[in-house]
Amino acid sequence: MKKAICLAALVWGLAGLPRAQAQLLSFGPRVGLSMSDLSGLPTNADNGTYRPGVMAGAWGRLKIPVIGLFVQPELLYVQKGGNYTVSGTNGTYNLAVNQLDVPVLFGIQFFRTFRGYLGPVYSRTLDSQLSGPNLPGSEVPGIYRDSRSAVFGLGVNFKKLEIDARFITRSNPIASSTNLRTGGFQITAAYRL
C-alpha cells in the first residue's frame, strides 16, 4: 500500500512539473520607444534635447521559486543619441547611435502584478552618425564599440502583456574624440509566449 501511495504521489508530482517549469521560465518579444539625451556637451553648447528612437528585441526570465526574485537577460536593438546647439552657430548638431544592448536584469515581483528591477547593460555600437553645421553626416571619429551603463525600472503584468518604464544611466564616453555620453528612458511592451 505504501508503494502505491508513493507511486501515485510521484506521478502526480511529475504531472505538475511542466506547469511548474512554465511558470519558472518565460520569454518573448519586446518593442518600445527610447528617449535619449546627451551629457558631456562642449562648454559652448546649449542644453541638449531628447532624441526619440525605437527599440526591439527579445527577453527571457528565470524566476527563483518561493521568494519572487528573477533574472532577466535581454537582447535589444536600440536607437540612441541627442541634439544640441553650439553658441555662435546657425544650426543643430544631431548624434544618432544604433546599438545592440544586452541588459541583465535582477528583480523582484510583488503583488503578482508588479516588478522592480535593476542591472548592468552592455552595449555594442553598430553605427553612429554626427551631423551639424559644416559637418556632413559621418561616423563619430574614435567611436568606442563597447560601452556599459546601468538600468533600473518598474513593470506591470497584464496576463501575457507586460508594460515597463526604465531609466538608463549615462554610459561611458561614446568616443575617444569627445566626452559625449548617452542616457535616457524607455517605455516598452513585451509579450509573454
Residue 3 maps to a domain:
no
The pLDDT score that the predictor gives to residue 137 is: 67
The pLDDT score that the predictor gives to residue 2 is: 55
The pLDDT score that the predictor gives to residue 180 is: 75
Could you tell me which of 169, 164, 188 has the C-alpha nearest to residue 33?
A: 188
The pLDDT score that the predictor gives to residue 14 is: 43
Weakly modelled stretches of the chain, pLDDT under 50 = 1, 4, 6-22
Residue 10 maps to a domain:
no
- The CATH number that applies at residue 132 is 2.40.160.20
> What's the pTM value of the predicted model, to 2 decimals?
0.80
Pairing of strands 92-110, 69-85: antiparallel
Residue 85 maps to a domain:
yes
Look at the chain and report how many structural domains it folds into: 1
Residue 9 maps to a domain:
no
Could you tell me which of 110, 106, 119 has the C-alpha nearest to residue 156?
A: 110
State phi, psi for 128 to the nearest 5 degrees. -145, 155
Buried b (16+ CB within 10 A) or exposed e, 5-43: eeeeeeeeeeeeeeeeeeeeebbeebebebebbbeebee
Q: What is the pLDDT of residues 69-82, one digit of tens each?
A: 999 999 999 998 88
Range of the domain at 91: 25-191
Residue 178 maps to a domain:
yes
The pLDDT score that the predictor gives to residue 29 is: 97
Residue 20 maps to a domain:
no
Residue 141 maps to a domain:
yes
Residue 74 maps to a domain:
yes
